[in-house]
Structure 1
Amino acid sequence: MSRPVIVVVGAGPGVSGSVSRLFAREGYDVGLLGTDEEQLAELGGDLEELGANGQIAVVDVTDGDATSEVITSMAENFGGIDVLHFNPSAFRERDPLELTVDELLEDVALGVGALLTSVQAARPFMSAGGRITVTGSMAADKPWHKAASLGVQKAGVRNLVHSLDKTLEPDGIRAVSVTVRGTLGREGAFTPDRVAEAIWAAAHQDEEGWQSEVPYSG
């Protein structure tokens, strides 16, 4: 039997890296989309050590055509996609009186729009049982005014996940955002590895009681 496949959009050394390694340990092959070639190569090496077939692509995920092409290529090479994980967001330290409309739209294109592109590209290669997971944040409900666009991104991506879940449910594909209600750190309940475990659990919920948003409070 072929191994299941997860494609991670916005891969890097934090939560997305932990998600990639956790799924690899659980028997998944992993496709990685990110912007830092060195980080992707290092993560790809970790996946190889875990016995996973890893594919990496350096791509700006706000470039819709390039992102769609990469996801399509990965899906064809792997033979399908079982889980699509979406991680990116933009942190821009500007309050609402400093933030320009162009800056807000640029950040939303990364933190929300790129999910739409990614799902639309992955959908033809997903079947019943497929899952879409998203790294959410308490900023959706309690934004820090000094980084106003982040709260907009996290509220927007959560809203989009709810719509994706309802749209894809008839086909047996479900979407979920994991709202991380804490600050990421190297120790304690909010390490990237602990958050990755919460994302794994959310992706493997009982479908009868499926929730398209799952809070993680540690």
Structure 2
Amino acid sequence: MTMTMTTRRFTGHRVLLTGAGRGIGEATARRFAAEGAAVLVTDREPERAERVAAAITEDGGTAEAYGCDVTDDAAVRAAVAHAAETFGGLDTLVNNAYSCHPDPSAFEDLDSAAWYQDIDVTLHGAARCVRAALPHLAAAGGSASIVTVGSVNAERHFGDHAYSAAKAALASLTRTLAVSCAPRGVRVNLVEPGTIRTPAWSGREDALSRVAAHYPLGRVGEPTDIAAAITFLASPDAAWITGITLPVDGGLLISNLGMNEAMRPGAAAE
């Protein structure tokens, strides 16, 4: 993907992204770099991060790769320190790393290890990153931000109990952090994606096609849709926005197309 962005809202900006080795994280790293930011691409699988950073550099952007498991306090602190030392500070943290295990057929059969992993990576991982990054963000002169990737699962039943609970907790954490971080010049916001065409759906393209019918805009999302929202919230365009949860969901949360179809005259007879 060649970087052809003309707007450069992030010249001189320093960004650390977690879970940035593919999907939403990769698209967001590329978008920040295309608009002038220096990005630290982190992922628990270092080779993924290296691939993304190399592609950004090849396209003329500034990026470094760093292996980071967000369940490891020391690894998180090291990644943040590396970003601050390499780039001379930190302006934006993007919390994108997550874990999601599919639900068993009965909740009582849910594996405890899977439950705790989903919570630890998705919720506690973000909290670890915020704790490590805040001193650097607060030193950025009042223009810093944290953007976390949530999910529409926090708002409605779409399955995946542990993942959904963690994403709901992230929305609450966003609101409380927004208030406590405001005096330090750090804005805190969250994006809630709907169904996004990422590698997590590899081999299930037929399911994506069926899901698209439930979206008022008639399609599932692309990673670039979420990258656009994340970079907006991190940009000067959102300088007076903090503590919000922004659904980027093709209208899913405001609709019930399945119910509408069921109530259509003649539907029951077909």
1:197 deviates by 0.6
Amino acid at match of 1:71: V
Of 24, 43, 49, the match for 2:52: 43
The alignment status of 1:80 with 2:92, answered yes or no, reads no
Amino acid at match of 1:112: L
Of 39, 51, 66, the match for 1:30: 39
- Contact conserved, 1:185 with 1:191, CA < 8 A, in 2? yes
Say which is worse superposed, 71-80 or 182-191, in terms of deviation. 182-191
Residue aligning to 1:168: 181
Whole-angstrom CA distance in 2 between matches of 1:61 and 1:211: 23
Q: Aligned runs of 1:130-141 on 2, under 5 Å?
A: 130-141=144-155
- Give the greater-gyration-radius structure (CA): 2
Q: Which runs of 5+ in 2 are unaligned?
A: 1-10, 199-207, 209-218, 251-270
Residue aligning to 1:144: 158
Identity rate, percent: 25
Residue aligning to 2:114: 103
The alignment status of 1:57 with 2:66, answered yes or no, reads yes
Tell me the TM-score normalized by structure 2. 0.74
Q: Which runs of 4+ in 1 moved over 4 A?
A: 186-189
Tell me the TM-score normalized by structure 1. 0.90
- Contact conserved, 1:202 with 1:214, CA < 8 A, in 2? no
The alignment status of 1:9 with 2:18, answered yes or no, reads yes
- Alignment deviations for residues 37-91 of structure 1 (CA, whole Å, 9 cap, x no partner): 3221210112102322212111211011121122112212211111100111111
Larger RCO: 1 or 2 (CA < 8 Å, sep 6+): 1
Q: CA RMSD in A?
A: 1.9
Whole-angstrom CA distance in 2 between matches of 1:77 and 1:209: 29
Q: How many residues align?
A: 215
Whole-angstrom CA distance in 2 between matches of 1:18 and 1:102: 30
Residue aligning to 1:69: 78
Amino acid at match of 1:156: A
- Alignment deviations for residues 171-218 of structure 1 (CA, whole Å, 9 cap, x no partner): 1210110111x2112795610011111111222354335442112133
Amino acid at match of 1:14: G
- Alignment deviations for residues 121-162 of structure 1 (CA, whole Å, 9 cap, x no partner): 1112112110101111101012333x2111111111111111
